[in-house]
Amino acid sequence: MQFTLDGVLAANDHEAIAAAGVTSIGIVRLVEYVALPYLESGQLTEVLANWTAEQRFPISVMYPHSRHLSAKVRIFVEWMSELIRLYPIFQDETRKSG
């Protein structure tokens, strides 16, 4: 099944898109880690459960190698590592099967 969507709302912030769904502006497409709290609370309901968007690219965190990594970079890398570990959507398919 194929869908062509012409939207009237565009945002570059996941929380703004979630808010649009919660306030009944329409159907929204969210990444799993953003949608999960809203689904668990009942604020959003999943539709088109058997349809997912094509994954466009893997996520990588890159930074210059340094013995003195700034606290901001270190905390960000630790946070991203935890997200990648917790949410299957972030995991590389080639690593899952190997």
Residues 21, 38: contact at Cβ < 8 Å?
yes
pTM, rounded to two decimals: 0.51
At 13 the pLDDT is 86
The per-residue pLDDT for range 3-44, each reduced to its tens digit, is 676 667 778 888 899 999 999 888 888 888 889 999 999 999
The per-residue pLDDT for range 81-94, each reduced to its tens digit, is 888 788 766 665 54
In sequence order, what DSSP letters do the residues of 15-52 get, joined into one string?
A: HHHHHHHHTTS------HHHHHHHHHHTSS---STT--
At 92 the pLDDT is 58
Residue showing tokens 């959507």: 89
The per-residue pLDDT for range 42-78, each reduced to its tens digit, is 999 998 888 766 665 566 677 777 777 788 888 988 8
